[in-house]
Amino acid sequence: MKITDQVRAFAEPVVLEHGCTLWDVEYVREGGDWFLRLYIDKDGGVNITDCEAISRAVDPILDEKDPIAESYHFEVCSAGLERPLKRPSDFEQFLGAQVLVKLYRPRGGAKEFIGTLAAYHDGDVTIQHGEEAVTFEKTEVALVRLYVQ
């Protein structure tokens, strides 16, 4: 089982107890250091108090379960207004929202498209871009995130 799945399994109930939802779990290497991040959300937005409380509650569980052998930095963060959409449920939740689609390779000279999320099916993303609906295949898409003007 992946580290992020293990952490999600024991962190999610703690996050819910604190009135938040667990948006994502990330385990990444940045500049030679490893970071384990929980991204949380709640109606009305997350504040620093929420992040601190959840960090204090999850930290001893991480020590006990010890899912990561090497040293790492643990952070709890807000999912943010321009959060990435990753799971099918993310796309379902934000149908009709403004999104930014980033592509691996340019299409028509552009690698970024902004539009209204119109559909999501098996990794393919359709946005309403101006007057036309544009569909991007899963293999083309590097990132989809909410877009705030």
Query: Which residues share a beta bridge with 126?
Result: 119, 135
Rg, C-alpha atoms of the chain: 17
Helix, strand, coil percent content, the chain, rounded in steps of 5 = 25, 45, 30
Fold of 88-146: SH3 type barrels. (2.30.30)
Spatial neighbors of 92 by CB under 8 A, at least 6 apart, are: 120
pLDDT of residue 49: 96
pLDDT of residue 1: 82
Q: How many CB atoms lie within 10 A of CB 82?
A: 12
pLDDT of residue 41: 94
CA distance between the termini of the chain: 38
Whether 3-78 shares its CATH topology with 88-146 is answered: no
pLDDT of residue 136: 97
Instruction: Kindly give the parts of the chain with pLDDT less than 70.
Output: none
pLDDT of residue 130: 86
Residue at 103: amino acid letter: L
Report pLDDT digits (tens) over 84-93. Answer: 999 999 999 9
The CATH number of the structural domain formed by 3-78 is: 3.30.300.70
pLDDT of residue 102: 97
pLDDT of residue 143: 96
State the Cα–Cα distance between residues 81 and 103, nearest whole angstrom: 21
Q: Where are the domains of the chain?
A: 3-78, 88-146
